[in-house]
A and B are shown apart, each in its own frame.
Chain A
Amino acid sequence: MSARISLDELDHKIIERLGHDARVSNREIGREFDLTEGTIRSRLKRLLDNRVIRVAAVTNANRLRNPILAYLWVEADSAADIEKVAESLASLPEIGFVATTLGRADVLAMTLVENGNELTDFLHQTIDKIPGVRRVRYSLGQNFIKHDYRWCALVD
């Protein structure tokens, strides 16, 4: 995970402001906070360079016909395979979240699918073929009550 840098009140204000709309110009943020454009620009550069935030487009999941967030709880063949399995899963573009975990499984991966067939295909064609995967259990998140897309992990 990224190295910690200390954040002051202004950093938090900038992050909060960009959490709503990150297309706003540095000049506009500067005007709102009564600061110069240069101050905002250098602060923002520091936040981006230190991987505190990432600015990117998020697409509305409602565009998908029936979005289902599939939680794949993966068990590895052996403890020594866990890290490799996690790396293989993370390299798949369809998967948005991967972590090694304590508790319910060795690795948790998440992917967004539109129906059961798509999930079945993905499990059989892609996941089952990853070396070191022993077993996959899954739960299907159907109704997004809350999904705070402003969180992420900026890993290399």
Chain B
Amino acid sequence: MRTATKAGKRTRGKAANANQGDGLPALDDVDEQIIAALRKNGRIANRDIAREMGLNEATVRTRLRRLEDASMVRVVAMRDLSAMGFGYLAPVGVQVKGRSAGDVGAEIAELERVITVNVAIGTHDLEIQVVAETLEEMQHLLTGVIAKIDGVERLFPSLALKVFKYNPEWAPL
């Protein structure tokens, strides 16, 4: 979720150490610049990236394929929630009892309308985000579906009034 430049710097600064343990290949400046270009516009042609960076197209193509094959980067279409009809977004804290947070989270994660599930440290055991097309559907999902999952003790919902920014740049791939 950080910007290209900042994330690039952070990753680059730690690359030497970070790669020893986790087996992910290191990113060099060229990789970082390709990623930065694709964060701005995922449909930009390899040829245009190459021209901007003063490389040849084959280099860009090979680099990008390597990044994708190693699951370091994916270029995808992200769908706008409201344009897809989901006018309601609820960040919900979940308090779990009698079952592990991970198990309950995994069951909640099976629901299509739940777009994120995190095991959390803090007041609640899980932080989830639920989307719905109508308030009625949201009510049904929270009270009728999620509340009835085994181990869900209490829900602490909030509802987004206006989304100012939602731009995922990092994700488990």
Contact = CB atoms under 8 A, between A and B. Distances in A.
A62 B21 CA distance: 12
A155 B89 CA distance: 15
Contacts of B84: 7, 52
A77 interface: no
Nearest to B160: A99
Nearest to A68: B121
B61 to A, nearest CB: 10
Interface size band for A? 35 or more
B124 A100 contact: no
B167 A96 contact: yes
Nearest to B80: A154
A1 B162 CA distance: 8
Interface in A141-156: 141-155
Interface stretch (B40-48, B50-58, B146-154): B40-48
Contacts of A56: 38-42, 75-76, 78, 169
Interface of B: 1-3, 6-7, 10-11, 14, 18, 22, 24, 27, 35, 38-43, 64, 68, 71-85, 89, 91, 93, 102, 105-106, 108-109, 114-124, 127, 131, 156-173
Which 3 residue pairs are nearest across A and B when measured between Cβ atoms?
A: A96-B1, A141-B118, A139-B122
